[in-house]
Amino acid sequence: MKPWTIAIDGPAGAGKSTVARLLARRLGYLYIDSGAMYRAVALLAQRNEVSPDEADAVSALTRTARISFQSDGDHQRLFLSDEDITEAIRAPDIATLASKVSAIPGVRAALVTQQQALGAQGGVVMEGRDIGTVVFPSAELKVFLTATPEARAERRLQEIQARGHVNATLESVRADQDERDHRDATRAISPLASASDALEIGSDGVGPEQVVEEIIQCIDARRRGA
């Protein structure tokens, strides 16, 4: 059977990464975190001292950037040219900057082309904000993962603290999240939105394994033509 393309979209902190990674492992598919690519562009802009307000300059940087993924067992490492930037892109200031550069049409155009090339053969689980709506509008399965803002901020705080940012507080994470949610959902181009044919799943109080189980059941049912 032809391998499927699976899109997992949703706001920050809904648990997309864990679910997408587990799902890809279960299916033997490639996992791609498209948000990491926007973060790579943010890091590149920061290092080149290019402000996110300079849309043309950031777009030009994106077009020349050599962003690539390398698999590391179950996880994935992100490279900018030959440099491993897996940890560097997780800094909180890069999250904010990524949200800003992702509103630039030239940045999106360049990254969407790369994402489509990465998933061209199928057999991929790609997570992001516009995967089901823009990158792979004919994906065989689209999932939109949501959770309450409170639960998302809690999850995000734990992730950030686990990375050693021990001074982060729930209030600061929630404030950043609200600002980012607003920007991601209201930008003119490809705002965060659920595709009309997406399977919507709420992850409040539900573990990632359970969400993956629900997705697998949906895949099985669709393959049986149910």
Touching ligand DC, residues 4-63 (CB under 6 A): 12, 34-35, 38-39
Q: Using the rule CB under 6 A, give the single segment among 43-51, 80-88, 122-130, 202-210 that binds ligand DC.
A: 122-130
CB of 201 to ligand DC, least distance (A): 17
- Are 219 and 4 spatial neighbours (Cβ–Cβ below 8 Å)? yes
Q: Tokens in use for 121?
A: 């053969």
Touching ligand DC, residues 73-102 (CB under 6 A): 95, 98-99, 102
Q: Using the rule CB under 6 A, give the single segment among 79-87, 124-132, 206-214, 217-225 that binds ligand DC.
A: 124-132
Q: Give which of 50, 119, 72, 214 is closest to 128, Cα–Cα.
A: 119
Distance of alpha carbon 79 from the chain centroid: 16
**DSSP annotation string for 145-181:** EE--HHHHHHHHHHHHHHTT-TT--HHHHHHHHHHHH
Task: Give the C-alpha separation, 95 to 157, whole Å.
Answer: 13
CB of 102 to ligand DC, least distance (A): 3
Q: Which is nearer to ligand DC, 175 or 221 (CB)?
A: 175
Residues that bind ligand DC (CB under 6 A): 12, 34-35, 38-39, 95, 98-99, 102, 128-131, 180, 184
